[in-house]
Each structure stands twice: as C-alpha cells, then as structure tokens.
Chains A and B, each alone.
Chain A
Amino acid sequence: MSKPKLAFFKLSSCAGCQLSVLNIEPVLLDVLGAIDITYFVMAKRSNYHGPYDIGFVEGAVTSPRELEELKNIRRECNLVVAMGTCACFGGIPSIKNFTGMTQRQMEEKVYSELWDIKSIPVQGIDYYIPVDHYLRGCPIDLEEFLTLVKSLLKGVNPHFRFHSVCNECKLNENICLLVNRGKACMGSVTASGCNALCPSLGRECEGCRGPASDCNAESLAKTFSKELGLDKADIVRKFRKYAGNTSEFSKGAGDNE
C-alpha cells in the first residue's frame, strides 16, 4: 500500500493548528514514515498539486476568494478534515458576525485601504462543502489528531464522541469550577476530547470545542443567569465566542427568546 498523500491548507486562522501538527516531536518521524505530506506550505517549500487522499483544512471562510479555494480543495481531496474550531464552526473570527456592524463598517474600522478587502460573514467550512471528519478545539488536540490519522490509515471511522467536557473533568477528579467556585464554566455543554484541559488547570471551559452532542445550552444559560448572576450581555459573549454560529450555542445566547 502506498503512503496516503496528505495536504494541509490554511484559510482564515492563526496557523496554530498546523503548528500543532509540527508539535508532535516525539512521534513526528514515525508519522512521517506512515504518510506522505505533499502539501504543507508552512513546513516545506516543495508542494505538489492534488489530488490528495486527505486534506486538512485549517481556518474559517471569511472572503470570497477563500470560498473558491475551499471548493477547489474539496475537488482535489478524497477526504476533507476540518482542522480546528475555526474550520469546524468559524472560531474566534466568527465573533464579528454578531457585532451588529455591516461588513463595510467593520472593514473601515480596521483597514484604511479598502481596495482589496472583500469580506463575508465568517463560517466554518461545512457551511459550504461536505466535510468528512472534524478535529475540534482551539487549537486541535494532538492525541485526537493522531487518532484520526491512524483511523484514516486504517480506513475506519474514529467515531469521536463529543459528549461533554464534564466527563473528562470528573475523571481527573477536579473540583467543579461551576458548582464549587462559581465560575461560568462551559464544560457541561462543550464537546470533550481535550481531557478537560482548562478546568484541570483551574480555568473555566470557554467552549472552544463547540457544542457537545445533545447540548442543552439554554439550561446552562439559565444557571449562568440565576445562580452566577451573569447579565445577558455576559451570557451572550460566552456563547458567541468560539462557536457562536452553531444553532446549539445560539440557543444559549438567547436566539429562542
């Protein structure tokens, strides 16, 4: 069996997820033995055209030209993986979708030269193209990345389970930041897979992995308001951060009210 051809693409993002891929130092050489990286601009100078077996797309779509690029990626790749929260949901840049400003107002606010700025509302890539697998997180979890790579090498579905962060948090026997510390932790409605990284470090979950399956954001928003005394704007900020585009978190932000 020849090594599968992998490609890494970047749309609007910080490149942190691609960089994460380079952060698997202890197993990097083993991984390179199993796959063929044919397109990875951040890591190498010789990059080849498709078709590719697996395309990892980092970043959100924020401009028409990226949309074109994305469609091309879909054509060139047998499997497309949305790599990181920006690609999955729009990520941090999607906050701008909810600022109440028009695209032009925003463009004028940040840029003085507007001739080449054409921006559109920020979306995850599956808003435009079918996506085969998702690696959530800001940035992605390396174990999960490796699990996906191994699954794809094996030709199986990794069946990631996006139940809530609380499970992993409890397994780490953390003191509950919400119940015991009164912090507005999003862990209960956020997808696990990060080994409850933030709460294990005393930091409330900010929801970077997007909604958990069967997410009950409305109920958590109620707790934020009634038990923790967060005001409406605070709650909206919580749910309009990493995955504000999702219908699940939109409910937390009060879209149903």
Chain B
Amino acid sequence: MEKIILNKNDLNTLFARLKDEYEVYGPVAKKDQYVFSMVENVEELKLDYDTTILPPKKYFHSPVQSMIQFSEISEGDQERSPLVKRALFGVHPCDVHATLSLDKVFLETYPDPYYKDLRKQTLIVALNCKKPCRNGFCASFNTGPGIDIGFDLCMTDLGDRYMISVGSEKGRDLVSGFLPAGEEEIRREKDIIDDCRDMVTRWIDTEEDLGEFLHQNFEHKVWRDVSKECLACGGCTTVCPTCYCFAVKDVVDLTIKDGKRMRFWDSCMFYEFSRVALDHVFMPEREARVKQRLYHKLAYYQQQFNVLGCVGCGRCVTACVKNIDPVMIMARIQADPCEEKEISLYKPPHKKIESDENPWMPYKAVIKDIKKQTCDVNTYTFEYLDEKIKAGYTYLNGTYNLISLFGTGESAISISSWEEMKGTFEHTVRAVGNVTKALAELKVGDVVGIRGPYGHGWPMEKMKGRNILLIAGGIGLAPLRGVVESVKNHREEYGKFEILYGARTPGGLLFTDEYEKWRQIPDTNLYLTVDEVPQGMEWNENVGVVTTLFDRISCSRENTVVITCGPDIMMKFAVLGLMKQGWSPEQIYVSLERRMGCGMKKCGNCQMGPVFVCQDGPVFQYAEIMNLPGGVF
C-alpha cells in the first residue's frame, strides 16, 4: 500500500485541499466528550478523541431519511436531496469496519439508493488508534486499532508527523506532492499500532465460532440476569455503528394528502419494534429482545451478511446505564458454558436482486374488482397501469407485495391469486390496521401503489409428484389459494390433495363460493371446521380447532408435503400434532407473519433470530427453522 509522510504543519494543507472539494466532518469536542460534526478549520478537530457519542454511520444511514414525496395515495416521487460531497476526517478503524458491514446490508441486494448516494459521495480519511479507548474491544475482531481497508486515506500519528496510507485514487490525488514514507517510518507505524493492540485490555475470546457458541448457550442464565437489569432504553442500538434497523412512516402535512414517506432509526430493544396491526407484538419479552440484539451483533449478522456485526467500538457499553457489556457477558458464558448439544446454524437462502430502479418506489396499480369475503375481508383485483410493468410482472404462490397508500403507509400482504394468472393479481385483505382499513375505503377504479413480489413462496416444485396436505386457519387461507388453483390447473402433476380449513365462525371462512369448484378437483378433499357456531346458524361441518380434523387425513405420511398458514398458535398445534404422529419437519412448510417494513432485508422489523422473514420466508421448511435459537412459535 502506498504510504506518504505528512508533517504535522502540513495537515493544514491537506485539510485545505479537502475543504476545496468537500464538506469536512470530523471529531469535535462536546463538553468532555466528542461528536462528529462539520468542521471549518483544523483547529476544531480533536484528533486525539477516544470515541464519539454517535458513530459516523449518521452520515450514510441518516437517523431520519425522507424517501418519497407524495401528494395523493398513488402519486409519489423519489426524494432527491442535492448531493453534497463530504469527507469524514479522522474515522477510527472500528467505524470504518462498521461502514463496510453496513454496505453489505444496504448495497448487496436491493441496493438502497439513499444509502448508496450518501456513501458514494463521501470520502473517508481514517485515523489509526494510538491508545485504546475505555470500553473498546476492537482487537478481538481485528477491527482495530489499525486498518488497511475501507478508506480513501488513513492516517497514523507518528508523534512528530503523520503516516498516510493511500486507499483510493481520490485519496492519492489529495496527497499528491507529499513525500513517500521510508522503511523506518513504516516500521514505526507498525510498532505504534502493535503497542496499542498490546494495551487493549478488553477482549472477547473468539477462538470458538461465536455463532455456534452463542447458539449453544441460548438458555444460559446470564441472559435472564441481563434482562432483569436492562432498561430496554435502546441506547445501545442507537449508538451502535452497525445497527441499521429502521421504521418507515408516512408523515403528512395539514392537507393530510401531501407529505413524505420517511424512515427513522428503530431499535430491536423497543417493545414496539415487532408490533403489527391489532397491537400484536412478536417480541414482547425483554429477554427475547436483549438476546436479539446481542446475538445479532455477535452471530446473526455473520450468518446473514457474512460480515462482522460487532466491531468492538464499545459505545454500547459507554451508553448503558446498567453497564451491560458484551465482553463481560461473553466472559461469563465462556467461564461457565451450557452443556454442549448438537446444533446447526441457520443458513439463509441467498438471493441477490440488483436493479437501478429505486426499490422503494411502488408502481401504480388500479383496483379492477372488489369482492367481499367476510365482514372485514375483501379480495381486491389489481392491475398495473404501466403496460410494461403489467406484462413483466410474475410471482410465485405464497409470496407477497407491499401495498402502498401514500399518506397512510405500506402493508405487506400475501398474494391470493395464483402464479399462472396473468395481467391481474389479487390480494385478500382483512381490514385491521391503518393501511388495510384505508384500502377498505377505496372503490373500483381507485389507484394504489404496489411493489413486489418479495420472498420465497410455497415449494411448488418439490410438491410435484407428491400428495399435498394444506392446513389453513382464518385469513391464512389467502396465501394458499394460489396453491389450490395451481394444483387445479396442473392436476396431473400432484398426488392426492387435502385441504383442512378452519375459522373461528362460519362467517369468518374465506372463498366460500369457491369450495364447490375445489371439491370438484379430482382426488381432492376439503374439510371445514369452525371454533364455534353462533346460535341459529346452520352448520353441517366439523366444530373444533383445525387439529380436530386430523383424523380425517388420508394422505400417507411418506409421500406428502404439508403446507400451512394461519395464526401462529394454530400452526404451532398443527405442526406439533403432525410431528407427534410421526410426520417429519422436512415435509412441513409454514408461512410466517411478522412486521415487514421494507420487504428487502433492511428495516429489520421482521427478524426472528437469525432469520429475516421478509426475504428468507415468508414460507419456510419447518426443519430449517425449528431449531432456531428462540424457536418459532
């Protein structure tokens, strides 16, 4: 790597060169602490800073990012803020590494245009550490005190001058004319960094694979203790340089039509993080959230993005009122680990989607038809307005779209039509949340926004040549309707077909006018059940939860694929019931619901242990997820 020497009084020259082209940001004092802030001259810079309150992440992944400006429910334009060239001056190695980790999240699949723009426009001048900071433990992960990737320039303070490593062409231009470093100076730089590493006292032992080790120790008693202490304040995640989760919200002005779709930093430590309509929360227990954060940092990040989730900057420790410290926690577990058991780490399916288009922009789709299913469920038929989009739109059974009503928000809704259907597609939607209720107010001819499809659907290929046992509860039949129709369309490709469908009451059953046709599909059984029958209502089918239909199953265990969707509690009893009868988790597929804010593995709201339900699912082979740390249901 090209190395340059900069005399200390030449720092002004370098700074002035930067100033010519860039807005310069660097560490400045805030009382007795430091923050990254815009700087006008070298004197403001505090290059001997230990750490900053917030990491420089704020310049790439803005705490508040306006994404789309809108005026009507389907009229929106990408927010384009003037691109300013920025230089971050004096970024410590841990924060540079953190930026590389964020890159994986934001740029690898569905590249995020907002992050990308800011990242592209920003030059990084790193600064190697001379002495360890109070709470850092970067040396454990080799993310400090020195660095050799991820920067345009990197400085090391040699005492009387700086050694500068050149990391990019842009960097090289900035140091043109300065003298190259000699061997003696290169040795001194190495010594300084080595000395600093030797002075680091805080380490996480990474000898063993942390992912596996932590998975082994998911039930360790330390987690209960930490959860009792933890204030769930989210301070740790806010100051974390690799945390990226965000919440998407439509903010309107007083016209209540015009506004912006924005995203705000979110935190898995918050009770509301996983909240969906009807105030259902998927991670209500503090312990689950405490683990989600630390496991995400130390294990899941690696599993999902193949990059470090913790860079050892120590900010979470500094911020914590209760001194919750990953180093101490790991030391405690390592000193007294749980008994070893066989585990296998979850491996997400890798799917890479790259496009120059903004993945956040929904396409306009017109409502062609609305059909009432139950008192609060409608089936909507949509058609994209743009002919090209319409012609090119395909999806698989079991996947979903995000339906966007600007001003109200977006909602992830499974597709209830079948993959062979062309030109139009359907969503069967229960009006329970803001978006779905607003959708219920719309009429045929109204235009909404739709983006998708997202995720992995039902295993249509794997089911070929095999029997299919479909178990659904309530609105859970919607994402399975496509399977029914596809089986009907290609009846010869599949074996026996059995449908067990339950709802709370007869009035809650979906697609009732289609049952006759379904029953006419050769070699197909449809069994219905309801939890209760209101007085005076005629009902000739089963009464009881869906598992009470199990004795009617005639599909043989050996050659059947089970596909199920419904409330978590229903799926839980269905899956456990089947497994008790000897069905294997390899033959069972479940479709899960979580809060899905983006559909693109970015907002983090749908995380379930190491899994992103939005992209790794929503359909999972049960065997793949049954042993997730923390479980599924």
Q: Which residues of B contact A31 (CB under 8 A)?
A: 254
B318 lies within 8 A of chain A by Cβ: yes
A188 near B321 (CB under 8 angstroms)? yes
Asked if A189 meets B270 with Cβ closer than 8 Å, knowing A154-B256, A175-B33, the reply is no
Identify B271's interface contact among A159, A174, A178, A213, CB under 8 A.
A213
Asked if A166 meets B252 with Cβ closer than 8 Å, knowing A161-B270, A175-B31, A175-B53, the reply is no
Asked if A167 meets B33 with Cβ closer than 8 Å, knowing A176-B319, A179-B318, the reply is no
Distance (whole angstroms) from the CB of B32 to the closest CB of chain A: 7
Distance (whole angstroms) from the CB of B454 to the closest CB of chain A: 22
Distance (whole angstroms) from the CB of B261 to the closest CB of chain A: 14
What CA separation (Å) do A159 and B251 show in the bound complex? 12
B42 lies within 8 A of chain A by Cβ: no
Q: Which residues of B contact A159 (CB under 8 A)?
A: 272, 275, 434
**Which residue of B is nearest A217, CB measured?**
B231
Asked if A214 meets B286 with Cβ closer than 8 Å, knowing A150-B256, A219-B322, the reply is yes
Distance (whole angstroms) from the CB of A26 to the closest CB of chain B: 11
B272 near A216 (CB under 8 angstroms)? no
Distance (whole angstroms) from the CB of B331 to the closest CB of chain A: 22
A153 lies within 8 A of chain B by Cβ: yes
Asked if A179 meets B319 with Cβ closer than 8 Å, knowing A167-B234, A170-B238, A219-B231, the reply is yes
Q: Which residues of A contact B256 (CB under 8 A)?
A: 34, 150, 153-154
Q: Which residues of B contact A179 (CB under 8 A)?
A: 318-321
Asked if A170 meets B319 with Cβ closer than 8 Å, knowing A150-B254, A150-B256, A213-B272, the reply is yes
**Which residue of A is nearest B272, CB measured?**
A161
A123 lies within 8 A of chain B by Cβ: no
A223 near B234 (CB under 8 angstroms)? no
A164 near B321 (CB under 8 angstroms)? no
Asked if A223 meets B321 with Cβ closer than 8 Å, knowing A164-B231, A167-B233, A175-B33, the reply is yes
Contact with B along A22-45 (1 / 0, CB 8 A): 000001001101100000000000
Contact with A along B47-73 (1 / 0, CB 8 A): 000000110000000010000000000
Q: Which residues of A contact B229 (CB under 8 A)?
A: 216, 219
Report A153-180 residues with CB < 8 Å from chain B CB: 153-157, 159, 161-167, 169-171, 173-176, 178-180
Contact with B along A1-39 (1 / 0, CB 8 A): 000000000000000000000000001001101100000
Asked if A164 meets B234 with Cβ closer than 8 Å, knowing A219-B228, A219-B229, the reply is yes
What CA separation (Å) do A174 and B30 show in the bound complex? 9
What CA separation (Å) do A159 and B411 show in the bound complex? 14
A189 near B319 (CB under 8 angstroms)? no
**Which residue of B is nearest A190, CB measured?**
B233
B319 near A164 (CB under 8 angstroms)? no
Q: Which residues of A contact B253 (CB under 8 A)?
A: 150
What CA separation (Å) do A161 and B232 show in the bound complex? 13
What CA separation (Å) do A31 and B407 show in the bound complex? 18
A148 lies within 8 A of chain B by Cβ: no
What CA separation (Å) do A165 and B238 show in the bound complex? 12
Interface size counted on chain A using CB atoms at 8 A: 41
What CA separation (Å) do A171 and B238 show in the bound complex? 7
Q: Which residues of A contact B271 (CB under 8 A)?
A: 163, 213-214
A253 lies within 8 A of chain B by Cβ: no
A93 lies within 8 A of chain B by Cβ: no
A73 lies within 8 A of chain B by Cβ: no
A83 lies within 8 A of chain B by Cβ: no
Q: Which residues of A contact B31 (CB under 8 A)?
A: 175
Distance (whole angstroms) from the CB of B45 to the closest CB of chain A: 17
B54 near A173 (CB under 8 angstroms)? yes
| Band of interface residues on B | 35 or more
Distance (whole angstroms) from the CB of A22 to the closest CB of chain B: 17
Distance (whole angstroms) from the CB of B367 to the closest CB of chain A: 19
Report A138-154 residues with CB < 8 Å from chain B CB: 146, 150, 153-154
Report B195-242 residues with CB < 8 Å from chain A CB: 228-235, 238-239
A82 lies within 8 A of chain B by Cβ: no
Q: Which residues of A contact B408 (CB under 8 A)?
A: 154, 156
B267 lies within 8 A of chain A by Cβ: yes
B231 near A189 (CB under 8 angstroms)? yes
- Of A30, A212, A213, A214, most B-chain CB atoms within 10 Å: A214
B407 near A154 (CB under 8 angstroms)? yes
Contact with B along A167-205 (1 / 0, CB 8 A): 101110111101110000001110000000000000000
A216 near B232 (CB under 8 angstroms)? yes
A86 lies within 8 A of chain B by Cβ: no
Asked if A150 meets B252 with Cβ closer than 8 Å, knowing A189-B231, A213-B271, the reply is yes
B438 lies within 8 A of chain A by Cβ: yes
What CA separation (Å) do A122 and B366 show in the bound complex? 54
Q: Which residues of B contact A161 (CB under 8 A)?
A: 247, 270, 272
Distance (whole angstroms) from the CB of B448 to the closest CB of chain A: 15
B511 lies within 8 A of chain A by Cβ: no
Contact with A along B414-445 (1 / 0, CB 8 A): 00000000000000000001100110000000
A170 near B252 (CB under 8 angstroms)? no
B574 lies within 8 A of chain A by Cβ: no
Q: Which residues of B contact A216 (CB under 8 A)?
A: 229-232, 286
What CA separation (Å) do A15 and B265 show in the bound complex? 34
- Of B30, B232, B271, most A-chain CB atoms within 10 Å: B232
A164 near B232 (CB under 8 angstroms)? yes
B407 near A188 (CB under 8 angstroms)? no
What CA separation (Å) do A150 and B239 show in the bound complex? 31
Distance (whole angstroms) from the CB of A200 to the closest CB of chain B: 12
A220 near B234 (CB under 8 angstroms)? no
Asked if A156 meets B254 with Cβ closer than 8 Å, knowing A167-B233, A167-B267, A173-B35, the reply is no
A163 near B234 (CB under 8 angstroms)? yes
Identify B235's interface contact among A34, A153, A166, A219, CB under 8 A.
A166
**Which residue of B is nearest A147, CB measured?**
B251
Q: Which residues of B contact A173 (CB under 8 A)?
A: 30, 35, 53-54
29 A-B pairs with C-beta separation under 8 A: A34-B256, A146-B254, A153-B256, A156-B438, A157-B433, A157-B434, A159-B275, A162-B272, A163-B232, A163-B267, A163-B269, A163-B272, A166-B231, A166-B238, A167-B267, A170-B53, A171-B63, A171-B265, A173-B35, A178-B321, A179-B319, A179-B321, A180-B32, A188-B231, A214-B232, A216-B230, A216-B231, A223-B321, A223-B322
Given A156-B437, A164-B234, A179-B320, output 4 extra A-B contacts at Cβ < 8 Å.
A164-B232, A173-B53, A216-B232, A220-B321
Residues of B with Cβ closer than 8 Å to A?
30-33, 35, 53-54, 63, 228-235, 238-239, 247, 252-254, 256, 265, 267, 269-272, 275, 284, 286, 318-322, 407-408, 433-434, 437-438
Closest 6 CB pairs of A and B: A166-B233, A164-B233, A213-B271, A170-B238, A163-B270, A156-B434
